[in-house]
Every structure is written in structure tokens, then in C-alpha cells.
Amino acid sequence: MGYWGGILLMGILHRLWASSQHVLQGGDRGDVERKREQQLSDKAGIRNRLSFYWKAYIAVPAALGSYHQRRFLGCSIPNRPEILVVVGFWIMCIILNFGFHDIFIPNVTMPTISQQAWKYVAQRTSMFAYACLPWVWLFAGRNNIFIWATGWSFSTFNVFHRHLSRLTAIFAFVHAISYTVLDTIYGPYYEEGLHVLWFKFGIIGAIMMGLLCGLSIPYIRTKCYELFLVGHILFAVILLVAVFQHTSVFGTKYNAYLWPVVAIWCFDRFLRIVRLVYCNIRVSTHGRLQRTTAMATYSKEADVIRLDIQVGGSIRPLPGYYFHLYQLFSWRGWENHPFTVGAYTAPSPTSPLTSSSNTQQGPHYMTGALNEKNPSFSTTTEMFTQGTQSSTTDPALGTLAFWIRPYNGWTKRLKNQCLSSLSSDDSAENECYQTSIPISLEGPYGHTFPLHHYGTVLMIVGGTGIATAVSYIHDHVSRLSKTGSRVSGDTKTQTSNLTLVWACRGHEFMEQLCGRELAGALELEGFTGRFHCTKGCNSHCAADDKNGELRIERGRPNIENIIHGAATEAQIARHKMAVLTCGSPHMSDEVRRSVHSILKKGYEGIEYFEEAYSW
């Protein structure tokens, strides 16, 4: 349809324009010009003013009060750009379906106005329903090419998918009701139709659409995800068969809408299989096929599962990338969930976890740096991370680290697997439980925000949302280590002030990561870490990192004050500022609201980036 084609074209053009701007900013230029690029313009042009107004009034503020990640009356609230696109489509569909009908009297075949209205509405809604189907399937896929072409997130396309699905179901219901009225009031055709195959399949198709929409309500998706997933696939297959049969009476007239659906679905599933094979099956140096191996370590103190998964050397995820994790050989092998890559250890000829000679290969050189200065919590950290050291036996393989908070469903079963594998080793004494499990990866998916183009970067994360921050912190350190100059090509960074604000339930998880993945960053000039323990804190949380121990503050961070303070410092330094958040819905919405308040005060140089998996 032209509407969605136009929306996608605008997204693609914006992506191209934004990419060209980042290339120009990251180019190899003289010191004066580089400084000018990093500084804010004193006299903003028309383009800058339009960009500022777009951020301040459209892109950043929530569409309904401060609700975006949080649910309002059980419903998810899209952001304002998504609302504009969705509402525009709803308005267009309502106008085109229920207006502009060529109704006239006298009419030989349909003598009354009401009969003509029912007939034309029935015909037009059927056309719209079929025309929407390819877009419904396209926007639902993980391998939707427009995710890459536009740079929009999967969650954005998921919003479009849900609203397109609802409209398609409404079209189907209106179509069915309209023809029911025509066949019962204006002719005795309904009873006859019940004995015809294409008529029956029309009823089945409408029922399937209703079931698909019913299974998709947030409560069922949250509480019974497996039911939603299996039902979604099963009912979608039945729906496709039904619509093919329903319009078979017209020959191949409507197949132009239906075969693209089949092609899109098959293409997405095929690419999922390709990704699974690529990520999980490799040929060893001895010519044998090997599958992905994983070591799961559950820390009872931190209530976090660490998954260390060995992968082939060709898999090198970028910051913000995520994988879908499967246990294919379990009785729920179809079940999979997305998790962000927290840390990546690149392959190396020596131990990728302990060698100090591989600082140029990736972020893994941070390992253990703080433990030498802070033995007070080294034991717990070593127990929590020894799974990686024992599982990384092939230097030609890299290792992906994931941090998972066990709740219900699959994560709870993963935790129980760790607990049930307890042996008589020292892990029980330190309340760390390890087990080797078969885990399959599908990916990578996701996108990388251009944080290295901002002079000041503020990351506000909660719980295991630290995975997103760690990947960008490692990227920042890696860019700094390439060569002396901060800004020399797109492989370098313009960031001179990086602040991490991390709120977590307990201090144990913080200590474990600060003794490992964050250890090197904590010693960097220009990096500041602020750690907040929101539950179960004790006197240990008041330690001072200047004396060799980590300082953790009690209570939740004052997000608004932190953002306002960072923005003030960025303005003084004349930096562009990026704010990245990944945490609970409440935290994300509070960060968004605070950034919006900064924009309303006229600070043009702030950008908001949000990482969330609320779909």
C-alpha cells in the first residue's frame, strides 16, 4: 500500500541522511574543524531548529503523560512518532472504507440506499483486509529488511504489526457482518452459503483473526507466552489456508496478496534456520562438526545467571546486539527469548581471559583488574566467573556473556538446572552453582547507537540492563586503545566524559561485574561509575573506591538531578550529550521525562536513546 511505502521511504531517506552526517562528523579532519564539529553551533540554522523541535515535541516526549514503557490500564503506549503513523493509517482506512461510495437511485440491481451501502462496504473492507496481510507478516518478522534499511527497532515495527493486525481483523469482521446482512435481509442466501466450502472458510478466517487478536492481549502474552506463541503460529497457518480457500471462487484474482505472505513468512523462517546453523555448527580443527557449548553459573547472592557461550571466531557482535537463546533439545525446544550480549571475548592464541598482551583485540582485557586492588570481594567474583575460564578451551573460539535475572518460565527452569547440578565442589560454599548446558543461538539482531559521536555520554541502567551499557563501555575503551587521537575516523571516539549510573537490587552483582567486565573502565580517565543498591544493602555498600573498594550508594538514584547535572556540565563544555537507558519500565519513562524537561529548557545538544524489549 502506498501509505506504508511512503512511511518506509521516509525512514530510509532519514537513515541515509543521518549516516552521512555521522560519517562527516567522524572523518579525519584537522583539530580546529573537529572541535567545531563537537561543539554546539551558536547560531542554529533552520535544519538544527527543526531537528530540535522534532526532538522536543515529537520524538522524545511520551504520547500519554509519562507512559511509554509502563502500561496504562494494561495497554502499551507507543511513542509519539509511532502514534502519528498509526493514527494516520487508522484515519485513512476509516475514510476510504466508509466514504466515497458511488450510491445512486434508481439502481436496478440494488434498489435501496442501505443495500448499496452494505454491498460497497463489504467489498471495500475485503480488499483492504487482503491488502494489509503482506504488511502484517512483513512487520512481524525478525528478519524484516526494513529494520536494517530504516534503522528503526523491532519494537517499532511490532507496534505497526499490532495495529495493522487489529485493522485487518476489523475489516474482516465488517466484511462478514455486511455480507451476513445482505444475505439474510436482502436475499435468502445465507443458509445456502453454509453448504459451500468457500463460504465456510470465510467464517473460519474471521474466527482465526479474532483468536489471533485475543491471544495477543498483553496479559496473555505476559502470563502465558508459550500459549500465545504456539497459538499465534497455529492460527496464522489456519488463517492462510482459509483465505486462500475463501477467494478460490474468484480464481487467482486475490492470490497477488496471499503468495507474498507465504514468501515473507518462509523467507523469515529460512533466515532463522540459517542463523541457527551459522551460530551453532562449526567445523573443528580435526574436521569434526561441533555444536555450541555453554556454561551457566547461577549466583544465589546476586540472583543472576551468567551464561558464557563459545562461538566461532566469525561471530563478533557490536554494542547493543542481542541473540535469541534456545534449548532446542528440550521438550520446549521451540521456546526462545532475546538477551543482549553483555561482554564478548575475542579469540586469541593465548587465554582470552587472562592474557594482558591482547589489549588491542577487544574488551576482555578488563578482566580482573580491580581484584588486584580490591581483594575484599575477589572470591565471589572468581567463583561467579570461573565457568568462563573452564569452558573456554579452544583459543580459536570467542565467548559471549549474557546476564539473566531468573523469573518464571524458561529463566526459572534454567536456574533450576544450575541448582540441580550441584556437586561437592567449592561452588556450594560460595552459593554459585554451575552446569554445562546445550544452548543454541539465533542472531545477531539489533542495532548500535552512535554514542561515540557525543562528547558526553550518560548511561542509566537497572539490573541486568547493565548488559547494554557494558557493551558500549567496552566499545568506548576499545576505540580509545586504537591509537592516540580521540577523533580520527569512525573507529575512534569523540567521547571525553562517560558516566554510568547503575541501580540494582543488591550489591553482589555489582561487585562481580566491577571486579571483571567493568574493572578496566573504572580506572580510565573520563569514566565515572555511580552504583546504587536498592534492596538488601548493608554497611559494605558505603565503601570508598579510592581506598581500593567499590563505593555503592543506598537507595534509588535521583535520575532527574543526575541528568540535569550532566546536561549542565555538557553545556559548559559545549559538548553534544547522549543519554542511554536500559532498565525497568518505570526507570525508562523517568529518564525519558527528564530528558524532555532538558529539551524544553532549550538545550539542543541532547539525544535520547532507549533500549527495551517490551514486545
Residues 130 and 13: their CA atoms lie apart, in Å, by: 28
Kindly indicate the confidence band of residue 469, based on its pLDDT and cuts at 50, 70 and 90.
very high
Side-chain-facing half-sphere of 227: CA atoms under 13 Å: 12
Are the C-beta atoms of residues 400 and 341 closer than 8 Å to each other?
Answer: yes
Residues 274 and 288: their CA atoms lie apart, in Å, by: 20
Per-residue b/e over 487-515, b at no fewer than 16 CB within 10 Å?
bbebebbbbbbbbbbbbbbbbbbbbbbbb
Domains of the chain: 1-16+54-275 (1.20.120), 289-346+397-420+431-445 (2.40.30.10), 450-537+549-610 (3.40.50.80)
What was the pLDDT predicted at 164? Answer: 96
Kindly indicate the confidence band of residue 36, based on its pLDDT and cuts at 50, 70 and 90.
very low
The pairs formed by 284-293 with CB atoms below 8 angstroms and a separation of 24 or more are 284/394, 285/396, 291/438, 291/440, 292/438, 292/439, 292/440, 292/441, 293/391, 293/436, 293/438
Question: Is pLDDT of 53 > 80?
Answer: yes
Mean pLDDT over 503-532 rounds to: 91
Kindly indicate the confidence band of residue 375, based on its pLDDT and cuts at 50, 70 and 90.
very low
Name residue, grid cell 552504583: 531
What was the pLDDT predicted at 552? Answer: 87
What was the pLDDT predicted at 541? Answer: 57
Specify the DSSP class assigned to residue 335.
-
Q: What is the pLDDT of residues 476-510, one digit of tens each?
A: 999 988 754 454 456 688 999 999 999 998 888 99
Q: Which residues sit opposite 290 in a β-bridge?
A: 282
Query: Coil, strand or helix: which one is 56?
Result: helix
Percent of the chain with pLDDT over 70: 81
Question: Is pLDDT of 457 > 90?
Answer: yes
Query: Of 283-297, 508-522, 524-538, which has the strongest mean pLDDT?
Result: 508-522
Question: Is the dihedral angle over the CA atoms 240, 242, 247, 252 positive or is it negative?
Answer: positive
Q: Mean pLDDT in the chain?
A: 83
Question: What DSSP string describes 524-549?
Answer: STTEEEEEEE-SS--GGGG--GGGTS
What was the pLDDT predicted at 226? Answer: 85
Question: 438 or 111: which carries more pLDDT confidence?
Answer: 438
Are the C-beta atoms of residues 554 and 541 closer than 8 Å to each other?
Answer: yes
What was the pLDDT predicted at 27? Answer: 52
Q: Is 475 exposed, middle or buried (0-12, 13-18, 19+ CB in 10 A)?
A: buried
**Cα angle 323-132-119, degrees, rounded to a multiple of 5:** 160
What was the pLDDT predicted at 58? Answer: 92
Q: What is the pLDDT of residues 80-108, one digit of tens each?
A: 999 999 999 999 999 998 877 777 777 76
What's the order of all strands across the beta sheet hosting 343-345? Answer: 343-345, 398-404, 304-311, 294-299, 432-437
User: Which amino acid, one-letter code, is at 587?
Assistant: M
Q: What is the pLDDT of residues 314-373, one digit of tens each?
A: 888 999 999 999 998 888 888 899 999 999 988 865 543 333 334 334 443 333 333 333
Contacts with 109 (C-beta within 8 Å, 6 or more apart), sequence order: none
- Residue 354: phi and psi, rounded to 5, are -120, -15
Query: Of 217-221, 334-338, 339-343, 392-396, which has the strongest mean pLDDT?
Result: 339-343
Mean pLDDT over 258-276 rounds to: 96
Q: What is the pLDDT of residues 544-593, one digit of tens each?
A: 444 456 788 988 999 999 999 999 999 999 999 999 999 999 999 999 99
What was the pLDDT predicted at 377? Answer: 41
Question: For 36-45, 94-103, 113-122, 248-257, which range has the lowest pLDDT when averaged over its residues?
Answer: 36-45
Kindly indicate the confidence band of residue 312, based on its pLDDT and cuts at 50, 70 and 90.
confident
Q: Hey, how many other C-beta atoms are within 10 angstroms of the C-beta on 68?
A: 25
Length of the chain: 615
Q: What is the pLDDT of residues 228-239, one digit of tens each?
A: 999 999 999 999
What was the pLDDT predicted at 283? Answer: 66
Contacts with 41 (C-beta within 8 Å, 6 or more apart), sequence order: 48
Question: Is pLDDT of 186 > 90?
Answer: no
Name residue, grid cell 539465533: 442
